[in-house]
Structure 1
């Protein structure tokens, strides 16, 4: 384990504070879930509340026991990091408009490309994984996935 220094402690605590803020936001959003009936005895609030609680616990642990920190990315790695984050935001923003399959195909394909896949390989990986996750969520778990309004006329 890397030796903690004032710099690694500060960066670890910044990360912990961000994670704690996300946990609080997730927990607050989960309390706003309103449902009339659910066959699940816990209801739809349970999973996000459990996840927010676990994330808050891990954030607090990380606050008090920050580990060694890597150097902040620079150059091409920093650019790839920003491209990945931007692609995540774009995919989520377009989910309702274009649907799960196209949004996830782009997200997974760009991610594969950023990790070194060829453009053709990234495209294949994006299509195959998006279809796989669609089948898992839609058919194995019975989860609703947006089909997109852009091409459905609605």
Structure 2
């Protein structure tokens, strides 16, 4: 898949995610920011990444714009596995693993992907769980609480 097409798909996906996430409301107030904070922030991050891909590749000459279906389907499988293991492993570990796996899928070097996975898992956990009071599972790291 070309970077331009991926950027466009990311923008469309972020828009849909924001549209569906905007109306999320809990039947009772259990968190200060409510359930819409997570999908809205993730949609913003996805939109920024998609916009960057479009901007970065806007003037590059077009080559074959074929979609890499095997890699795309493998990414969907990875995200499905992430959803299944999210509670068992916990947010930090599951997010670190999915970051490494998807980063490697797109050609990222091992060491950079491992560092990025750990940093993203910890920072997003601190942002949502500690900063925004969105309760996230610790899973295998439950002993730290």
Q: TM-score range by the shorter chain?
A: 0.5 to 0.7
Q: Give, in whole Å, the separation in 2 of the partners of 1:125 and 1:152.
A: 22
- 1:47-81: CA deviations, max 9, x gaps? 39xx7xxxxxxxxxxxxxxxxxx9551xxx32221
Q: Distance in 2 between matches of 1:38 and 1:92?
A: 22
1:4-26, Cα deviation, whole Å (9 max, x unpaired) = xxxxxxxxxxx99xx6xx94xx7
User: Within 1, Cα distance between the matches of 2:74 and 2:111?
Assistant: 19
Out of 96, 119, 139, the residue aligned to residue 128 of structure 1 is: 119
Q: Would the aligned equivalents of 2:31 and 2:134 in 1 still touch at CA under 8 Å?
A: no
Which runs of 5 or more structure 1 residues have no equivalent in the other structure? 1-14, 52-69
Deviation above 2 Å: which 4+ runs of structure 1? 37-40, 150-153
Gaps of 5+ in 2: 1-11, 41-63
User: TM-score if structure 2 supplies the norm length?
Assistant: 0.54
What are the residue-to-residue correspondences of 1:4-153 with 2, within 5 Å?
23=20, 30=24, 33-35=26-28, 37=29, 44=34, 47=36, 71=65, 73=67, 77-148=68-139
- How many residues align? The count is 105
Task: Kindly report the root-mean-square deviation, in angstroms, between the aligned alpha carbons of the 2 structures.
Answer: 3.6
Answer with 1 or 2: which has the greater Rg. 1
Q: Which has the higher contact order (CA 8 A, sep 6+)?
A: 2
